[in-house]
A and B are shown apart, each in its own frame.
Chain A
Amino acid sequence: MEMIKDVKKKDDGRYIIFYDFKEDNLDARDADTPEDNTKERDAKKAVSEGGKQ
């Protein structure tokens, strides 16, 4: 996802930066590839086993 910055000055001299993005299909990928929950499963296992002593 490419980021495009547009820096402007406000009337009182402060800067304001507009960030725009060239969208990709990230959200579609998000739906297809949920984050890795391996460690969460490991954690559940660890809990059921009482964890590391």
Chain B
Amino acid sequence: MSELRWDPINREWVITATHRQNRTFKPPKDYCPLCPTEEGGFPTEVPKDYDLVVFENKFPSLQPSAPEPDIAGSTLYPVDKAEGICEVVLFTSEHGGVMSKEPLSRFVKLVKVWKDRYHELGSKDFIDYVFIFENKGEEVGVTLEHPHGQIYAYPFIPPKIKKELDSSKDHYKEQGECLFCNVINEEREDGRRIVVSNDSFTAIVPFFARYTYEVHIYANNHIPSFNQFNEKEVEDLAAILRTVIQKYDNLFGFVFPYIMSIHQQATDGSGEEYSHFHIEFYPPYRTEDKLKYLAGSEAGAGAYINNSLAEDKAEELRGIEPTGE
């Protein structure tokens, strides 16, 4: 059972999805539902070997034919159907695959798949935002270790993204320029927070980083979404993504967990002039053996406290070799 419940205090939708309590939780390797089904083996989500695969989530928070809300709403508490689409993206058929060791071609394939899903899901009338993300590592709550990501196609623009798009919209009205273009131009001019860059993208530790090893990858030029990517930009994104992940994995010598989220233009037709494609990484490790928890100030007040300086962490990450060995 799932539905949308309006929070009038924070002015945002909350999705209830009680059926997700029963989703597959850390199965043993031989029972991984994301591996290809083996002859005589138990049936997984994918009946044959594959390169990259996308399928509808078995335990979706949002559904194309969502049921009516189970509870009656009110003027104060509106409710709505949890309409949308949730997909799972399998990066490789190898259960123990490590992306930082994969060749560039696998990243190019992945970017092409993301681009295709953004376009297809975003062209549906009831989808306002296509959110592509990856939760990586037990530390961020991953329940299946097989390399995969997810896509949530929402019937609304999610609050964190709406806030940043509203900021850029206001900036555009005042300055006549995209806020994100201004940010990346300033970062490229300054240089202190750059981790790596290529012709089309720049990876930085943001000036206002909330996490110790937070990295954002921005398009160098004004590209609102995957829909405007050319072949060169697909390859350049794949290359910088691979480099950032390799640096992460080489930082402390273990596969570095993170939450990765792709921010781009809403698919409701708004904001081409002020939306700007970028990827944000939020890694939970603040040192080799210490995690950052969202505690009182962060969870209770929304005020993040970062125990490090973006300039220092960018320098540290710049010094890490981007190799997959």
List A residues at the B interface (Cβ < 8 Å): 1, 3, 5, 10, 14-21, 23, 26-27, 30, 35-40, 42-47, 51-52
Whether B235 sits at the interface, judged by CB under 8 Å, is yes
Contact with A along B89-112 (1 / 0, CB 8 A): 000000000000001110011001
Instruction: Report the minimum CB–CB distance from B79 to chain A (whole Å).
Output: 26
Instruction: Report the minimum CB–CB distance from B229 to chain A (whole Å).
Output: 13
Instruction: Check B103–A30 contact: CB distance below 8 A.
Output: yes
Instruction: Check A16–B53 contact: CB distance below 8 A.
Output: yes
Q: Is the interface of A mostly helix, strand, loop or mixed?
A: mixed
**A30 neighbours in B (Cβ, 8 Å):** 103-105, 239
- Neighbour of B112 across the interface among A1, A23, A36, CB < 8 A: A1
Instruction: Kindly specify which of B126-134, B193-201, B265-273, B296-304 makes contact with the partner chain.
Output: B193-201
8 A-B contact pairs sorted by A residue (CB < 8 Å): A19-B54, A26-B108, A35-B196, A39-B194, A39-B196, A40-B195, A43-B193, A52-B191
Q: How far is the CA of A51 from the CA of B193 in the complex (A)?
A: 10
- Neighbour of A14 across the interface among B50, B58, B193, CB < 8 A: B58
Whether B192 sits at the interface, judged by CB under 8 Å, is yes
**B318 neighbours in A (Cβ, 8 Å):** 40, 43-44
Contact with A along B107-125 (1 / 0, CB 8 A): 0110011001000000000
Q: How far is the CA of A46 from the CA of B243 in the complex (A)?
A: 21
Instruction: Check B105–A1 contact: CB distance below 8 A.
Output: yes
**B103 neighbours in A (Cβ, 8 Å):** 26-27, 30
